[in-house]
Amino acid sequence: MARPGTTMKLTAPLKVLLQRMAFTGLIGASVGLLVLGKAEAPVVERARMTVVDAVAPMLDAIGKPIDTAARMIDTARHYADVHEENRRLREENLRLLHWQQVARNLEAENRAMRDMQRVATEPGLTFVTARVIADAGGAFVRSVLIAAGTRDGIAKGQPALVPDGLVGRVGETGERAARVLLLTDLNSHVPVQIEGTRDRAIIDGDNSDMPKLTFLSSGARPQLGDRIVTSGDGGVFPPGLPVGIVVQTGEHGVRVRPFADFHRLEAIRIVDYGLAGTLPVAAPPPQPRRGR
């Protein structure tokens, strides 16, 4: 029994020294990663998305029961006011039928005018709808992870939508997961216009719930309640995607409340309007592609 004791005594200082060196090395590695990340080295992004890809199935599995439970609670709550809801929907339906008629008329008129002018029609859009598997961010970033990646045809820069409006754009892509940078993130800058006046501006996230309108074209006077839509400038977003509504004007800048509810993102639609031949729905193929 004495022997292990003596070896312990002999190796203890060595062990402490090794531990100190390892600790310093790890601190150095963290700082190194931060520096590389600041320089926007592609290796950092790749490393991050490799980790996300590996963990995505687990996140998906953990999230599903929570989703189901939330939906059940929602359903139960809706039972309570099903009559009221029904009445509201009937009214809305009437109103929408009217709009449908308006849209048909406009469509016919539009087609006739295009025919007259021989305007090339826009290429058909394709969508990939994906579940939100991580709503991370904490206090520093506004982004979510979705369960679709390059193998589903997702590419960096594609716009991300929910039925209410624009959510953001694809920031990083992995094979089976991607990160969507929300409109509210500090690094989000989207070219927009005021719907009525067509005044151009940029909508800048600042990590608050209401992004700012900057670079307003001179003479523009945005009013409370003005609708903001994408302008299509820069070619990242198609024009006309609904973004939000002006809720603050004046000395402290113009702020916009996005139409999309960032606190209840369940599924996000990624729009591919440039590349043809992507899958219409995020159907997970049986085996992940490997190699290179």
Partner 1 sequence: MVGAVFAQLDRSLKLALPVVSTVLAVLLSVVPLPIPEYSMLAPNVVLVCAFYWIVHRPDLFPAWCAFLVGLLDDALSGAPLGLNALVLLLVHYAIVVQHKFFRGKAFWLIWAAFALIAGGAAIATAIVAYAAAHLSVPFALFATQLALTIAIYPAIGAVLGRVQRLFLTAG
Binding site for partner 1 (CB under 8 A): 19, 22-23, 26-27, 29-38, 44, 47-48, 51-52, 55, 58-59, 62-63, 66, 70, 132-141, 143-145, 179, 186, 207-208, 263-266
Radius of gyration of the chain (CA): 25
Which of 52, 229 has the CB closer to partner 1?
52
Shortest distance, CB of residue 202 to partner 1, whole angstroms?
18
Shortest distance, CB of residue 25 to partner 1, whole angstroms?
9
| Encoded amino acid at 20, one letter | R
Answer yes or no: are the C-beta atoms of 223 and 213 closer than 8 Å: no
Which of 32, 196 has the CB closer to partner 1?
32
Which of 59, 229 has the CB closer to partner 1?
59
d(CA 14, CA 10): 8
| Encoded amino acid at 218, one letter | S
Shortest distance, CB of residue 171 to partner 1, whole angstroms?
8
Task: Give ∠ CA 139-143-145 in degrees, rounded to 5.
Answer: 130
Strand partners, 242: 229
Shortest distance, CB of residue 38 to partner 1, whole angstroms?
5
Which of 101, 208 has the CB closer to partner 1?
208
* Residue 192: Cβ within 10 Å count: 28
Question: Please, what sign has the CA dihedral across residues 66, 68, 72, 74?
Answer: positive
Shortest distance, CB of residue 79 to partner 1, whole angstroms?
18
Please name the residues in contact with 4: beta carbons below 8 A apart, sequence gap of 6 or more. Answer: none
Which of 32, 285 has the CB closer to partner 1?
32
